[in-house]
Homo-oligomer: A and B are copies of this chain.
Amino acid sequence: MAQHNAFYAQSGGVTAVINATACGVIEACRQAPDQIGKVYAGHNGIIGALTEDLIDVNQESDEAIAALRYTPGGAFGSCRYKLKDIETHRTQYERLIEVFKAHDIRYFFYNGGGDSADTCLKVSQLSEKMGYPLTAIHVPKTVDNDLPVTDNSPGFGSVAKYIATSTREASLDIASMCATSTKVFVLEVMGRHAGWIAAAGGLAGEAEGEPPHMIVFPEVAFDRKKAMARVDESVKRYGYCVIVVSEGARYEDGTFLADAGNTDAFGHRQLGGVAPTLAGMIKQDLGYKYHWAVADYLQRSARHLASKTDVEQAYAVGREAVALALAGKNSMMPAIRRISESPYQWDIIATPLAEVANREKFMPPSFITEDGFGITADCRQYLLPLIQGEDFPPFENGLPKVARLSLTLAERKLPDFTL
């Protein structure tokens, strides 16, 4: 087989383990020198391919690449940028082909969530629709866990572990304070459309009555009266109430509890502040003293508390993506399959990208308790394997070490291109 170059890029919101996937991709490429020459990384995702901002990954030492395994964030820069259709925006695809040709790129690895899968799907049509021989593989990543087909998404397990741990720790705090001070604690977590992360908060408690006492899912229409009754009951019974609320919590009519009016580049509304909104309601309706926290980026960058299972899966999908590419499987995504529940066993299967792109996986109704405020035993059984094991990063001088890359750009061979 002839040797060609590979392109890897990160897309969408980054995670604590997306760089572990990068590590898997790059290490697997380095181990296939007969087929893969250089690896280029897109500076800021697909944009780097369009503007020919290609990071020459060959300049990075094996040690630096290995350090990606424990470095959060997106080391090569991510982007929120969705390619339009080939039919209507042919120029962009022609440019991609120009850049790929100029750098002899025949393998394309795109590491992202649902929106990015759509971009990767479009790029994977280059060979069929425009005659350029490219093998495009989508590598799954999203803290939201809303990608279909795959049993879970790399990135989610670590956020789940962080939120479950933080909920347990903060619950011990408020439990000690509630006699004379704070009665209600509200933790806002990510998950715009699907309540997977909020559900993970439910793992904090194990026995009946243990916090959290209420989870507010985006999947369940918010009913203020019912919610306040639940909070009041919890304070009266346990002395305090711990709430985990999804940023995507919404009313029956679809209005978000915290609608800030911003939209991001994908046209999604930027949310923020459901915790203070809910806390304000509680103060108003029940008069209880409250505290609230918004974990925001902390939750998805908390590599210091990553799930070992998650790190292993993130790394494995990266390696498997390269295996699929080398086998010529265009337009595919390596998906995680749960083989057995106890002991938890998983493997990776190849899934056609067309089955993945632009579809969201919501929490099944059987995962939410009948009252709408908790997780069921089925949900717990699904979630628990994903947070198993610790994979602490090395610490230096009291702080987690992170990869230091040189991020050298490859020499440009083409004229400038305006997005």
Q: Which of B176, B265, B271, B389 contacts A398 (CB 8 A)?
A: B389
CB-based contact A73/B265 at 8 Å: no
Minimal Cβ-Cβ distance residue in B for A74: B176
CB-based contact A293/B304 at 8 Å: no
CB-based contact B260/A264 at 8 Å: yes
A268 within 8 A of B: yes
Q: Which of B173, B279, B293, B387 contacts A73 (CB 8 A)?
A: B173
Size of A's binding interface in residues, CB under 8 A: 83
> Could you say which residues of chain B place their CB within 8 Å of the CB of A271?
273, 276-277, 279-280
From residue 380 to 397 of chain A, which have CB atoms closer than 8 A to chain B? 384, 387-390, 392, 395, 397
A170 within 8 A of B: yes
Interface stretch among A115-123, A127-135, A161-169, A218-226?
A: A161-169
> Could you say which residues of chain B place their CB within 8 Å of the CB of A177?
13-14, 74, 78, 80
How would residues 163 to 198 of chain A score, 1 for a CB under 8 Å from any chain B CB and 0 otherwise?
Answer: 011101111111111011100010100000000000
Residue of A47, A203, A298 with highest tally of chain B CB at under 10 A:
A298
CB-based contact A72/B302 at 8 Å: no
How would residues 261 to 304 of chain A score, 1 for a CB under 8 Å from any chain B CB and 0 otherwise?
Answer: 11011101011110111011000000001011111111011111
A145 within 8 A of B: no
**In the complex, how many angstroms separate the beta carbon of A259 from the nearest chain B beta carbon?**
9
> Could you say which residues of chain B place their CB within 8 Å of the CB of A176?
10, 14, 73-78
How would residues 238 to 263 of chain A score, 1 for a CB under 8 Å from any chain B CB and 0 otherwise?
Answer: 00000000000000000000001110
A44 within 8 A of B: yes
CB-based contact A399/B203 at 8 Å: yes
> Could you say which residues of chain B place their CB within 8 Å of the CB of A187?
298
A307 within 8 A of B: yes
Q: A176 vs B266: C-alpha distance in the bound complex, in angstroms?
A: 17
A305 within 8 A of B: yes
Give me 20 A-to-B residue pairs in the complex whose CB atoms sit less than 8 angstroms apart, sorted by A's number.
Answer: A14-B177, A16-B169, A47-B179, A72-B169, A73-B169, A73-B175, A81-B180, A161-B398, A164-B398, A166-B302, A168-B399, A169-B302, A181-B264, A261-B266, A273-B294, A292-B294, A293-B298, A295-B298, A384-B398, A389-B398
Seen from chain A, the residues whose Cβ lies within 8 Å of a Cβ on chain B are 10, 13-14, 16, 44-45, 47, 71-81, 161, 164-166, 168-177, 179-181, 185, 187, 203-204, 260-262, 264-266, 268, 270-273, 275-277, 279-280, 289, 291-298, 300-305, 307, 384, 387-390, 392, 395, 397-400, 402
